[in-house]
Every structure is written in C-alpha cells, then in structure tokens.
Amino acid sequence: MKIRKYQEADLESMIKIWNEVVEEGVAFPQEEMLTEKTGKEFFASQSYTGVAVEDDRVLGLYILHPNNIGRCGHLCNASYAVSSLCRGRHIGEKLVSDCLTQAVDIGFRVMQFNAVVENNIHARHLYERLGFHQLGTIPGGFRMKDGTYMAICPYYKELL
C-alpha cells in the first residue's frame, strides 16, 4: 500500500468512501453526501488530498486545509476516511503520518482537530500515540446520527 496525492481517476472511490463515513453519522460533521460534481470540487479545493492505494484500489483518503485565516492561517485541519472493508489495517495511521509530512511541506505550523468525537477511541488513541494533545472536552458538541449528543475532544500538534 502507498499513500499519494489523489488523481481524477480516484474520485469515484473517494466519494464513495467519504459518503460512507458521512452516512455512518458518528465522526464527520457533514450531513450532505458528495455527488460527482461536488466531490470533484470539494477534493480539488483542499490544500492537499491524499489517498491510500493498493493494487490501484483506493482504501482511504485524507483532506488537509487551513483551520483558520489570516493571522491563524498557519494552523491546519484534516479529516480522514477509510473504507469500512479495510478498517483495522492501520491505514488511518499511514494517512495521518503522510498528512503531517504534507502539512510541514506546505508550511503549516500546527495541526488542530476541532471535533474528534469522544467515543471515537481508535482515532483518539492514534492521535495521542502520534503526539497530539487533547485541549479539553466540549460536552454535547457533536450530534450523532441517532439524534443524541456526544462530547467532542479538540486535539492539536505542533509541527515545527
């Protein structure tokens, strides 16, 4: 498996994986599904979009972009999605590690995750293992698909 910059030929698989996570309703804040048109625009608008590929098949992806503007434009944010058929293979760790490298190359100084859902234990353990620090907990910060509210845990990591 390798991590590389996405190509237009990857878009159909990327949109499917992204929409799968949105549909699950337990990790991404988005509720709208990407279409072929909106997906192409969305992924192209990021500072960097990477994919995990094995045998020409997209297994997962990430998006990297500024977390804010102006005087806080050096802070970045990212989102990660792995196909449900491929979870448990440490693809997320490879995506996050590549994303950190790309963020430094672009010139970002801090990576910040605004809304890691409290019960997303696998992601939280991964971020902590990679040197991210939890900033606190925001009670009821995420509305789950079933309508209940879960706390979110913001994280950050200095990149320089």
| Rounded-to-integer distance, Cα 45 and Cα 39, Å | 10
For the residues of 76-118, what is the DSSP string, one character each? Answer: EEEEEEE-TTSTTSSHHHHHHHHHHHHHHHHT--EEEEEEEET
- pLDDT value at residue 160: 85
**Which one-letter amino acid corresponds to residue 126?**
L
Residue 155: what are its φ and ψ, rounded to 5°? -130, 155
pTM: predicted TM-score of the whole model, two decimal places: 0.96
Q: Average the pLDDT over 29-57 and give the result.
A: 97
Give yes or no for a contact between 14 and 41, defined as CB atoms under 8 angstroms apart.
no
Share the mean pLDDT of the chain: 97
92-139 pLDDT, tens digit per residue, is 999 999 999 999 999 999 999 999 999 999 999 999 999 999 999 999
Give 148's pLDDT tier (boundaries 50, 70, 90).
very high
Closest by alpha carbon to 109, among 134, 133, 75?
Answer: 75
Per-residue buried b or exposed e for 79-92, using 16+ beta carbons within 10 Å of the residue's own CB:
bbbbbeebeebebb
pLDDT at 43 over 90: yes
pLDDT at residue 32 is higher than 90 = yes
For residues 58-69, average pLDDT: 98
What pLDDT is attached to residue 69?
A: 96
